[in-house]
Chain A
């Protein structure tokens, strides 16, 4: 059963729980928060994300009452709270250091806030037990904070801050002290707890993955301003600025100049594709110089491929004599691999050639000779813009680009996982040749750093569906990177 989408920020009638209204905070000459307005709704899991010193912690401390507000107002549940002291606010905070009272047991730590409200003992006991159950800490109730592990301390801190059932829970880098695996588990626990208790959570973090995982909405901050406030998917897929694109996840940023894409589908589709054709491809019109290299598939001197792990003679002998009996004859993938050296050569020569002819043939000229020469297989979406990103390089087709950007400097942002990498020229709207410079092997995925002919580095990510030993792309390989006409986002400078 599909659930109704939780998106109170889209509902105009919805009253925000927290409202920052033109809030400014200055420390002496330094402006930590600059005229900031923001609404946070009930039951939201809201993340304040940004590099250190961007003001996210100041925002949180203002909500908790530990920092005064220089200008503006903060409303919480219809009440202006800027003059309310921290101990009178219906807000609890989970501190980055956890701030557990070392002289009190886990039980007393959790009961601390409840006792201040002088409720009766029985009720306090019940509530503490409930919190212990929620955070799976019942066994440790009698221990002191220094007798439990970091992950348990984190849960005590959470239980303590939730015990008073606050309207709003603030979490200051709550998982920063945990190791990666525990952190990921805890993120899901946090989400579960947030859902079961129905409390509004505001989390401060510099870890974008954490923010993406837990938050219903993320506010990306920079130098005391909100750069973008949106759901994780929008922040990731449609960043509104180079800053956001660059801060969230891995990204390729290609600066260039926007140009209106011709409307009629036929020529523009073919034209840029052709223009993109680099020298090494046989069917492409050869440049004036004789630099046309053999296609990357050509077999050539193999020894250049020293990086490819391959058995030596003795290994071969042992395999044949011993392992072949029960492992079967090995089909040697190595010789079939395209040797990198010709490709390398091709890329290098092409780069030279590009540099040489940089001032002579315009892209239009290059495109002119054969519009029909290459019938394209894929249906390319029409409209949008073209981006001229490097001298002598084919423009990038961006079908989702705003036509109003015509003639303006723009930056194309493409996530590496939306960029494919192939040894053969793929059939995609945007294809660029390059050379593999670096491979970051992360186990599940590999990130390839590809140097384009213009010298620009582009990251392409591939899921390692096959075992590493079968990996067919290696260092220095001449490769083609490709992406669709809608893969990227055009950002104005």
Chain B
């Protein structure tokens, strides 16, 4: 066939143009909008758990109201520091409730809720010339159940995930023990079962309504998901009882008790600069 060089170049050019511009034209004809507008619409979060707003991203005020629950906690250190025995009771009750093993060796230690020094809990806060109570008293720390949990992003099997109540939960059936989540967590809230946890438990006196874990999985506080799901308060909050040293509730409900407490008190969070938006607040 006789093809002239000039004709070949014309056909090649037209084909390239059609290939590049065609889809955009078709999309515009089908949706009736420009591609740039169509893309902006997809950026909105269907479910925004957090209390923070996405105004800059979408510009639609109505879609920013948080839907669903976001469970959170306020820990009143003013009350707890005065009662170290209550802190000890809380730790013990939680660990007994969830069959958390006790290993004396620091490396093997498993902890869901524990006491630590102020400067370790709040390393970003200045600790020059601390007051007596801060020097003497410990801080009760647990998993922060972050709104932007880095552990969930790190988990390759989705064994850890944020559930519909905003609890960062663990599915031990799926955990492969890679410990990426432990590296990702800025709070050291996760413990690895280096040893068979049943070796660190008195199997005659365990809670028979809650499982143990197995060797090779990571574990942490579950905000008592199994109790909250049945309408109860977390064990630690229950132990505090009428002292109100710990308050638990829905951060997304403006009428909840926890929101009133947050409104009336100045609170701080652990490592806010990490950008994890913790759901545990501290009154110091």
Q: Do A and B come from the same complex?
A: no
